[in-house]
Structure 1
Amino acid sequence: MNKRDAIETKARILSAAEDIFSKVGFDGARVDDIAKEAGVNKALIYYYFKSKNEILETLFSSLIEDARRMLVKSMEGTPDVSGNDGYRKLFDIYIRFVSQKRKIIKVAVAESAKTNVSSSIIMELGNLIINAEIDALRKEYEKKGLHFPEDKQELLVMEFFTGLTPFLSYALYKDQWEDQYGMSEEVLQNYFYQAFKKAHLEAHLRW
C-alpha cells in the first residue's frame, strides 16, 4: 500500500469510528463494526491503531487541532469582536465549526461526563476557545481605551457556562431540534443567536 492509499485508509477508519462512536457511544462501539463501516478488515485497523482508545485519542487530537486552526482564522477575519457585527461574524464561525464537528463533539461530551475521567477533552477544548476569546476581547478593550475586567475567575466561569456550553448544546441537539419542531437550520441559528446575544453578548457589553 502506497503512502496516499495508507492516508486515505486511515482517514476512512477514523471517519467510520467517529460515526459509530456518535451513534452507540465509545463503550458500545466494536472494532468489528468500525471495520465493516470502513470497508476494511479488522487486522488493518490494528495495523494503524493499537486499540480503540487510540482511535478515540486520535479523533480528539484532530478536534483540538481543527479548533486551533478555526480560532486563528476567526480572529484574523473578525478583528473587532467587541461589537454586535463582529460578534455575529464570530458566532457564525463557531456555529459552522460545531455543526461540522457535532459527531465527535457528542462523543467528547459523553466521555467528559464520566466520573472517572482524569483529563477532559471538553475542558481542554474550552480552555483553548475561552482563552483565545478573552485575549481578543482584551486587545479590543485596550485599543478603545476601556477598562478590561481583572477578575479572571469570573471571566472563565462566564465564558464557559454562557459562552461555550450553548454551542456544545447546539451540537448535541441541533438535529433533534430541527426534526422535533420542523425548523430549518437557518431559522434555528437565527433564534439561537438572538438568545445568545441576550445571555452572553449582553454580559460583555455591560462591562
Structure 2
Amino acid sequence: MPKTDGDITKERILQVAEKLFSEDGFDGTGVDKIAKNAGINKGSIYYHFKDKNDIMESLFKKIIDDMSKYVDSVSDLTGKSLEDKIKSEIQYLSDKKRILAILFMETLKSGNNTDYFIRCLEIIIKNELDSTVKKEELSDEELQKYIVYEFFTGMMPIISFITLKDKWCEYFKYDERKFFEYFMEAFVNTHIKSHKFKE
C-alpha cells in the first residue's frame, strides 16, 4: 500500500526528532525546533503526536519493531562463525547508532522508568541464545547468568564501540578500519573466547 502524505509527514517528524534528540538530548529539544527542522508547522506535529513524549515513545516502539524484524531475518545464519555473526550485528546496530544513543541516555536518567534499551538488547541476546543452545537444557540460574553475561560483556561493549567510535577515532586520530580491527581482536580475545555456550 502506497504511503499517504500523512505517513510521509509522520516519518519525517520521527527522522528529524531522532536526529535532534541524539544531538541536543530529549530535554534540550522542543517541539518548535522539531517543526522548524522538519519544515512543517507545529500543528502538524500535534496532529500526529500528543506531545514530545509521544514522539519519543513512537521512536522507541519503532526500534523494538525493527530489531524484531532484523532478528527474524537473520535467524538462519547456518555456516557463519560466531565472529561473522558479531560483525553482522555491529553493522546492523551501527545503522541504528542515533536511536541507540538516545535509548541509552534516557535509560541512564534517574527517575526514568524507560526499559526500551534493555528490551532492544534482550531481543538480540535471546536470538543468539536460541541459535547457540537449547534453552530447555539450561536451569533458570544458568539462563539468568547467560543473559547477564551477554548483556554486560557482549552487547554493552558493542554498543559502546558503536556510539563512541567517531569521537574516539577523532580524539586519538585512529583510522576507523584499524579501530574496528582492534575492537574485534579485543572482543574475540575476551568475550568470544570465554563464551560458555560455544557453537
Q: Distance in 1 between matches of 2:170 and 2:17?
A: 25
CA distance in 2, matches of 1:158, 1:205: 10
1:73 and 2:68 correspond: no
2:15 pairs with 1:15: yes
2 CA distance for matches of 1:180 and 1:87? 31
| Cα distance change on mapping 1:39 and 1:185 into 2, 3 Å | same
Among residues 172, 179, 198, which one is paired with 2:163 in the alignment? 172
**How far is the alpha carbon of 1:127 from its aligned partner?**
1.7
Contact 1:99/1:171 (8 A) holds in 2? yes
Q: Is the CA contact (8 Å cut-off) linking 2:132 and 2:197 kept in structure 1?
A: no
Aligned residue-pair number: 195
Residue identity in the other structure for 1:197 = V
- Correspondence 1:196 to 2:187: yes
Equivalences for residues 43-54 of structure 1 within 5 A: 43-54=43-54
The answer to whether structure 1 residue 154 and structure 2 residue 145 are counterparts is: yes
TM-score normalised by length of structure 1: 0.86
Render the CA deviation track for 1:163-206: whole Å, top value 9, x for unaligned. 11012112320210121223333222222111111121112268
Helix, strand or coil at the partner of 1:75: coil
> Do the aligned partners of 1:21 and 1:107 also contact (CA within 8 Å) in 2?
yes
Q: Which residue of the partner structure matches residue 112 of structure 1?
A: 107
Give the TM-score, by structure 2 length.
Answer: 0.89
What are the ranges of 5 or more consecutive residues in structure 2 without an aligned counterpart?
A: none
CA distance in 2, matches of 1:67, 1:36: 30
Distance 1:74 1:12 in 2: 28
Deviations 1:25-79 (A, max 9, x none): 1111111110111111111011110110110011111111111122122222x22
Matched with 1:32 is 32
The letter of the residue matching 2:132 is L
Alpha-carbon shift at residue 3 of structure 1 (Å): 5.1
Point out where structure 1 has 5 or more consecutive residues left out of the alignment: 143-147
SS of residue in 1 equivalent to 2:133: helix
For the 8 Å contact 1:16–1:34, the answer to whether it is kept is yes
Residue 97 (structure 2) aligns with: 102
Q: Give, as a single letter, the amino acid of the residue that structure 1 aligns with 2:72.
A: V
Post-superposition shift, 1:117?
2.2
Structure 2 residue corresponding to 1:123, chosen from 118, 129, 132? 118
Closer, same or farther: CA 3–201 of 1 in aligned 2, 3 Å: closer
151-160 vs 14-23, which deviates more? 151-160
**What's the secondary structure of 1:204's corresponding residue?**
coil
Tell me, in whole angstroms, the C-alpha distance in 1 between the residues paired with 2:8 and 2:197.
Answer: 49
